[in-house]
Amino acid sequence: MLNAVLSWPSPSSVDALKGARVFEGGARVRAPELAIARAVLRTNARITPIGALELACDTVRAARRAAIPPDFLGATLLQESAYDPRAISSAGAIGIAQFEPGTAEEYGVDPFAPADAIAGAARVLASYVRAYRDRFDDPYAAAYNAGPGAVAYYGGIPPYPETRAYITLIYERWMRIGSYERTGGDRRGAQKRSG
């Protein structure tokens, strides 16, 4: 009975207890790893709870090494691929972090290796945070989406509808991850990005 109650869609040959979504619901959590794992599970049903926790731990470690908020990195990766390591976009972007092949090579990242791609995405975002530190509009996510050249050309967030929608979605995901936590991360400017 317990096995049936805790089951979730999985191959019939797999014990349903192994697919229990132990991180998906419940009270707010203290650890960003658990909040990000919860967001991953709510976004990508193909990832197991243990897999989501492993990806979330990699995300938090990489974000802390790069000195960026873990929830922000998690939100970016959720938006890019829903943490799917096999994701390939129609434009040819690859893996969890949706690296273009040239960018992956520039940063020395294997885009199909989850931990490597997560660490690479953290380094890329951190470079944008450093580059745009004094900007009012904080175009970090815009640079990740449209490229730093577009941000430089427009002197801030480009007027592209896709990029503006992307930024809104990143900050909505960032706030949602934060809502799973008892103590939130730095969400400065999140309110001003709603339009």
> What count of other Cβ atoms lies within 10 Å of the Cβ of residue 130?
12
Q: What is the mean pLDDT of residues 159-181?
A: 92
d(CA 81, CA 69): 19
Pair 73, 132: CB distance under 8 Å: no
pLDDT value at residue 23? 56
Q: What is the mean pLDDT of residues 92-114?
A: 94
Is residue 25's pLDDT more than 90?
Answer: no
Q: What is the mean pLDDT of residues 64-89?
A: 95
DSSP 3-state of 18: helix
d(CA 77, CA 98): 8
Which stretch of DSSP H or E encloses residue 155? none
Ordered domains of the chain (ranges, CATH): 19-181 (1.10.530.10)
d(CA 173, CA 5): 29
Q: pLDDT (tens digit, 9 = 90+) per residue, 28-75? A: 777 899 899 999 999 999 998 889 999 999 999 999 999 999 999 999
At 183, the pLDDT band (50, 70, 90 cuts) reads low
Query: Regarding predicted confidence, which is higher, 73 or 4?
Result: 73
At 195, the pLDDT band (50, 70, 90 cuts) reads very low
d(CA 8, CA 46): 10
Q: Which two tokens stand for residue 118?
A: 């997560």
CA dist list (Å): 77 to 22, 102, 180? 22, 19, 17
At 112, the pLDDT band (50, 70, 90 cuts) reads very high
Pair 126, 133: CB distance under 8 Å: no
Alpha helix locations (H) across 15-160?
A: 32-43, 49-66, 70-81, 101-107, 114-131, 140-146, 148-154
Query: Regarding predicted confidence, which is higher, 6 or 152?
Result: 152
pLDDT value at residue 167? 93
Among the listed residues 90, 97, 102, 91, the one whose alpha carbon sits nearest the alpha carbon of residue 113 = 97
The residues that are catalytic are 80
At 76, the pLDDT band (50, 70, 90 cuts) reads very high
Strand-pairing partners, residue 172, are: none
Q: What is the pTM of this model?
A: 0.79
d(CA 31, CA 79): 21
Among the listed residues 102, 131, 107, the one whose alpha carbon sits nearest the alpha carbon of residue 119 = 107
Window from 86-90, 172-176, 182-186 with minimum mean pLDDT: 182-186
